[in-house]
Structure 1
């Protein structure tokens, strides 16, 4: 959108409007747990303590106090039966629900997009910035994977519903003034599917929660951590470590997937399920390396591993290309298969990458801290005529 069409909000950079005086609305796809997207939302809440939040489904007990202290309003989807648990079933209704949100009086709208969020209709003088974790995978690059893994009814209904949702998804992208992408991988998909340019602003990682340990405190195991979703390829890790006969600890759920994978795992593989956060941190600091065989949009766990002083063995596509430096902070492998991972672990050990300097790994991870995230978004807002002014105690740009 051209500067002259937005009045005072697009004043020259020398006369920026301060963010502290603005009414801010944050649109987040759903609030039913604390994952990477919700960590970004927490950072946005610290940047804009005055912001109101709109979402499709909300489970207060599942989100942090930092989010709960904001005024949170659910869309019409949130009033449907069992919406906090069945929200994905209501996906076809979400576009209309977003367009029903009355944002009159807001000066800044920030949509947090991984499910439908950016399709709101912002006031004509408001700035709409979209922080994109990912274009909806089940509509675009992962459509066939999701459909092939679904039940008969879903497989039947997906083609006509997805076609309509894709059309709306592209049209609604035109309503956004500026896109922030969480990685270069996501920026490429924004360009491919929505034909829009974006600025890469990596998500904030709570680096102060992680720290290296002394060499004698480390273990003799490798670590896989995260949700046991098919696209994260835990199956590759299980079979590869069966062949290697190396110890592997797996942290994550859901329980039914743990049970299915356990049936295929040998004696060297141990499952901890949904372990407490402190247990995850201990294992990140003590492992020989983090195993990361999936293609992620960004992937916070590798940064957490490096902040803990441990290297990463990652599939060399997606967000890992933004975070892992081959031979310097870990190892990237190009063949996403059992054989490819077996070869990668073998090379990792042969090249002595286990002995990379823990403090150098931690220093590398610092570029993904919250201050960098705030600076990136502040620069984007300045280009839209808004000067970010941190509240007392909030992170500064």
Structure 2
């Protein structure tokens, strides 16, 4: 069909849900607002973004009760999104973000264009399947073994309805190729590089990763338990919070700040010597870019998306894959405050590669090209 004039396009964005104030959630809100799209999502909680952050046209499917379906929320959500295909068919172009949202995509031969912004193929089905199984109780293991393959086939069928797939990094582009057999375009997520500013060091290192096993917070805590003269602030929450607080009990140099407001988080990053971010094969990782935007180097790990964002020796240090507490101790000792300070200019320059404007321009180009070819 002929390209739809920009002013008359009916665009939609579908996203699984808004449960926290995370980077993926922020990406979806910025995109929907920038392209004047209708936003459709499973549910929103009080811990996520408030009404003012959402575009004027948005549709809450009010499925918050699904969170109680332990271990099967994605399956329940996908069924609800599949019921939105008729609504999706009314749009010229639909963008899908998440695991369940792609189930709303109409068939490829229906009018309109399906675009999938892939943060990662579901890790519990693919690259971290064994890990999630290990972490599960007997009932959930049974679900992964029996229902998992069925859901995987349904997910791959939904992805097969996409005309265009966008990956959030080269790392995810490789995962998509390996697990889904599809090619994709890389568009890095948006980071509010202008919203972060450098401030003098306040004598602490900072971790902002969620308190979940794949973020390796236990390794960070163990390193600081062995360095009582070094101060660590952990600014986040998550399923492992009680366990990690117990692990750090009695350590005067380790502080848990919990979930913070955006303003508090920016202030904590601004005053840090450096940030520490060592997750398992991170999809992209917006936290390191936010750190560099504030002129603060990153002690990261040579895995996943950090290989695309952190310049070793220039904007931080990268530990070897599967790092130990000893590896982290060595890196912290080799990045004293004066060396961290010297990295400020390179950090600020590198962060600009991942700004909001670049993201929106790149996504608009994807939309224009997809509509022109449809």
Distance (whole Å) between structure 2 residues aligned to residue 298 and residue 71 of structure 1: 27
Q: Is the 8 A contact 2:66 2:76 kept in 1?
A: no
Task: Select 1:191's aligned residue among 165, 177, 200.
Answer: 177
**C-alpha separation in 2, matches of 1:305 and 1:299:** 11
Q: Aligned-pair distance for 1:85?
A: 5.3
Instruction: Describe the superposition over 1:303-359 as per-residue Cα deviations: whole angstroms up to 9, x where unpaired.
Output: 111111110000111111111011111111114222222222233349x63132423
Which of residues 25, 29, 34 in structure 1 aligns to 2:12? Answer: 25
Structure 1 regions of 5+ residues with no counterpart? 1-6, 10-16, 388-397
Q: 2:5 aligned with 1:8, yes or no?
A: no
Q: How does 1:135-150 map to 2 (within 5 A)?
A: 135-150=121-136
Deviating more after overlay: 33-42 vs 357-366: 357-366
Give the corresponding residue for 1:34: 21
Cross-structure match for 2:233: 249
Per the TM alignment, residue 267 of structure 1 is displaced from its structure 2 partner at its CA by: 2.6
State the aligned residue count: 363
Q: Does 1:261 align with 2:244?
A: yes
* Unmatched 5+ stretches in structure 2: none
Which of 112, 117, 134 aligns to 2:101? It is: 117
Residue 205 of structure 1 deviates from its aligned partner by: 0.8
After superposition, residues 270-285 of structure 1 pair within 5 angstroms as: 270-285=255-270
Distance 1:253 1:94, change over 3 A: closer
Alpha-carbon deviations, 1:230-262, whole Å to 9, x = none?
Answer: 1001000000111233211111113x7333223
1:132 and 1:179 in contact (8 A); partners too: yes
The offset of 1:119, in angstroms, is: 2.4
Partner of 1:311: 297
Report the Cα distance in structure 2 between the residues aligned to 1:375 and 1:356, rounded to whole angstroms.
32
Inter-partner Cα distance in structure 2 for 1:379 and 1:344: 40
Q: Conserved in 2, the CA contact under 8 Å of 1:25 and 1:53?
A: yes
Counterpart CA distance in 2 for 1:209 and 1:326 is 24
Measured in 1, the distance between the counterparts of 2:330 and 2:289 equals: 23
| Residues 313 and 333, structure 1, Cα contact 8 Å, conserved in 2 | yes
Q: What's the CA shift for 1:361?
A: 1.4
Rounded Cα–Cα distance in structure 2 between residues aligned with 1:274 and 1:300: 16
TM-score with structure 2 setting the length: 0.90
CA RMSD, aligned part only?
2.2
CA shift in 2, pair 1:283/1:96, >3 Å? closer
| Of 89, 93, 109, the match for 1:108 | 93
CA displacement at 1:225 relative to structure 2? 1.1
1:58 and 1:248 map into 2 onto residues whose CA distance is 32
Q: 1:358 to 1:85 in 2, by over 3 A?
A: farther
For 1:1-397, what aligned pairs fall within 5 Å after superposition?
Answer: 7-9=1-3, 17-49=4-36, 51-59=37-45, 62-64=48-50, 65-67=52-54, 69-74=56-61, 78=62, 82-83=65-66, 86=69, 89-101=72-84, 102=86, 103-113=88-98, 115-122=99-106, 124-213=110-199, 217-245=200-228, 246-254=230-238, 257-265=240-248, 266-295=251-280, 296-335=282-321, 336-349=323-336, 353-386=339-372
Q: Following the alignment from structure 1 to structure 2, what is the Cα–Cα distance between the partners of residues 86 and 116?
A: 15
